Chains A and B, each alone.
Chain A
């Protein structure tokens, strides 16, 4: 880190420095019309300055909020930088929020302007404009379909930048204004408000200062030695803290090149073309890639299939040790090398992970098999545990100490303590300022000595690694006192590729029961190969053979629970397969695809009643919301299966003390 960079305590200042020290290096790319368009740091700097002048001309002032809605696009990232230049606060919003959610966030944040990607978002904003009285201007990136709209309060971003550029050339006072505003912002100032998706209740606005974000970004960069020349692909929601740290903060701080994919559907292709060296994805992405590979392999020729299974089997035995640079026999090394040429190399290439230095997964627990698979084929995949309130980093896995069942050691500069009820508390330079306009919630979450209540229950094991078992308030007890961590049980189920989502119930009940969502890709392919015909998701979900298959999975989960300390009581006695996919549009999942247990319990009350009253099937009618806001009703009769629990094989006391 140069001394100059150390003095830059805001992102606009860092961008100005970047334009000076690495002017010709590519800062950001966007694939448009099939071609990668790129901008150097110097061009980014010019654009951001011009944009800031343009925004100022539209009335954006210090302290104002500007909403940002859309996929990852260069101009939307520049909006953040240009707004910060003026001392305004960007508020990125999840692009797939339904109008109602968006109206709440925009109104709560009192945004005066909004920069959005395209017509779809403009329409959404226009439809809620009357509920956001402060909103004055909407800026958009893509012109398509917007030509005939009334443009009194609507502006193309490109034009705003162009206007700014002209003003900057013609008017020296604009230049002076930019210099003044740049110097006026300090590291302790509010940099951004990120709304958390909210597993419970309304979204909360997490306020982060420049110091928070820069400190966190620096921790990550130093930990994994990220520098100029590293390539990342920006495809996760820009409203998510992870994307903000990786694609914005770290990119500006360390000079990474950020690549914006052509569309959400082309991410894997685009990643291949770029050859990213640093990757971040929720477990779901890795799961999907693996499921797709396994499904394709089933359709491959017998020879290829056998080759695949032979080498993957070998990699599972030795690949991880080779990656950790542990001693491995010469013969095993040679076979692995051959496998690398024939199978692993091409696979990594397919996944777009050939050049990868380090990849992270976070947000949810990842299946041990999936995690091991990627590491076995030579991808340095790691887990980390983080929260918006911490500017991401809480714990990380150092090289050589990577395990599927832990989230690693405390990240540099992070202190962690475990509360009496098992809750994880942390303190770090990245810890947030507070929730926007909600001092009560802030006081609830932050202790007087600066620790933050994570809301997650966990414990440190003998090696100093943190295990997260569940949300602290979700860990329940059965009527006989047995421990019931729902998420832990659900994750075990979700590690089967046929099961997409699971929701377990049992707190205060006699035994554990479960809703299951099948994975249409995996089960559909299975159905095709086994001559099972079906016309709809609902029909496939209710098929007796599908039930048989899922029953076997549930039984295996029960067996593994029976073998773990204190988990034997949480075995699943009854389950059913839901007739529809859980969906964020129906409020059943959060925008980051996490299950909203309480909401589901209310909505499917008759099904839960049936799970506990011994009946073998139940009727259910549910209202569903389509993307345009219209509603429909799905009715179904759902069958219920019983299972016999396994005898508990684990000793009664175990290592879970910390979860008490």
Chain B
């Protein structure tokens, strides 16, 4: 997928660091003492069997859950109890395992909604659609049209997303996350329920986002082929614990990972 002459992107310093994070719901331990980091510009995969705590981990990163113990540092800043909108404002965008779009709104409006945090003009001016608000709207629309072009969804620009097939809804959701120009993009099973062709398209978009916009990406995915192809580094969770961390090749050879996925005789 990458051109042979593409230089290897030099991955920078850690953009996000997760240190000794544990998460408990009453007696249930969703995460236990997990530590890893995400470096600037990389594609980082989080994998693991069902119930391993992958989505909980993402929820902690974007402030939807608050870790019971441990620290999460984003861009050098540690927040004790960050709220989701603060995470979004700080530059963390995300998509969800089950598509979470405004079903009655069009593709265009959904992606425009992703620009909301970037709007500066006040409610009153926006209501009038006049003056600075209008200029701003034009600017944002242009940005959104770039995304629509990028994701090749021009033909559904004016279609309510509730009417779209699942694969396209996923693409629109990615578009909305991109609209806020995130530094870190969290993708929760971006290819779940897709057919091969849709998966290939989505893989290409993810790589393009990473290379062209330089966005750092953390993704959860079940399709091992996809994970191994896309990601620079992989962290493996099982029963809320980290069992492996490294390049796809290293992880693939790790005996504990093989056991976790194939099961072992007890």
Contacts and interface: CB of A to CB of B under 8 A. Distances in A.
A627 B240 CA distance: 40
B3 A149 contact: yes
B154 A126 contact: no
A42 interface: no
B50 interface: no
Nearest to A145: B208
Contacts of A123: 3
Contacts of A262: 154-155
Interface string A9-49: 00000000000000000000000111100000000000000
Contacts of B196: 626
A225 interface: no
A123 B211 CA distance: 16
- Counting chain B residues whose Cβ lies within 8 A of the other chain, the interface size class is 20 to 34
A506 B150 CA distance: 50
Interface string B1-40: 0010111000000000000000000000000000000000
The interface residues of chain B, by DSSP majority, are classed as helix
B208 A144 contact: yes
A644 interface: no
B146 A33 contact: yes
A265 B197 CA distance: 17
B157 interface: yes
Contacts of A34: 145, 148, 154, 157
B200 interface: yes
Interface in B205-226: 208, 211-212
A125 to B, nearest CB: 12
Contacts of A33: 142, 145-146, 148-149
Contacts of A265: 154-155
A627 B198 CA distance: 12
B155 A145 contact: no
B208 A263 contact: no
A263 B152 contact: yes
A628 B155 contact: no
Interface in A262-286: 262-263, 265-266, 269
Nearest to A268: B155
B3 A628 contact: no
Contacts of B200: 628
A266 B3 contact: no
B197 to A, nearest CB: 8
A422 to B, nearest CB: 44
A262 B145 CA distance: 12
A147 interface: yes
The interface residues of chain A, by DSSP majority, are classed as loop
A148 interface: yes
B219 to A, nearest CB: 19
A337 to B, nearest CB: 32
Given A33-B145, A33-B146, A148 B6 contact: yes
Given A34-B154, A263-B155, A265-B154, A150 B5 contact: yes
Given A144-B208, A145-B211, A126 B150 contact: no
B155 A126 contact: no
Interface string B59-80: 0000000000000000000000
B155 A148 contact: no
Interface in A76-126: 123, 126
Contacts of A32: 149
Interface string A240-269: 000000000000000000000011011001
Contacts of A35: 145
Contacts of A266: 154-155
Interface string B215-242: 0000000000000000000000000000
A35 B138 CA distance: 12
Contacts of A269: 155
Contacts of B211: 145, 147-148
Most buried by A among B3, B149, B154, B200: B154
Nearest to B141: A34
A200 to B, nearest CB: 30
Nearest to B156: A265
A33 B144 CA distance: 9
A632 to B, nearest CB: 9
A628 B199 CA distance: 13
Given A34-B145, A628-B200, A145 B154 contact: no
Interface string B236-253: 000000000000000000
A263 B145 CA distance: 14
A126 B5 CA distance: 11
Contacts of A144: 150, 208, 212
Contacts of B157: 34
A235 to B, nearest CB: 13
A126 B3 CA distance: 9
A145 B152 CA distance: 14
A9 B155 CA distance: 40
Contacts of A150: 3, 5
A288 to B, nearest CB: 14
A19 B148 CA distance: 35
A145 B196 CA distance: 22
Given A33-B149, A34-B154, A148 B7 contact: yes
A265 B151 CA distance: 13
B45 to A, nearest CB: 22
Contacts of A148: 3, 5-7, 211
Given A33-B145, A33-B149, A34-B145, A147 B155 contact: no
5 contacts: A33-B148, A123-B3, A149-B3, A263-B154, A626-B196
Interface of A: 32-35, 123, 126, 144-145, 147-150, 262-263, 265-266, 269, 626-628
Given A33-B148, A269-B155, A627-B197, 6 more contacts: A33-B149, A34-B157, A147-B212, A148-B7, A266-B154, A266-B155
Closest 4 CB pairs of A and B: A265-B155, A33-B145, A150-B5, A266-B155
Interface of B: 3, 5-7, 142, 145-146, 148-150, 152, 154-155, 157, 196-197, 200, 208, 211-212
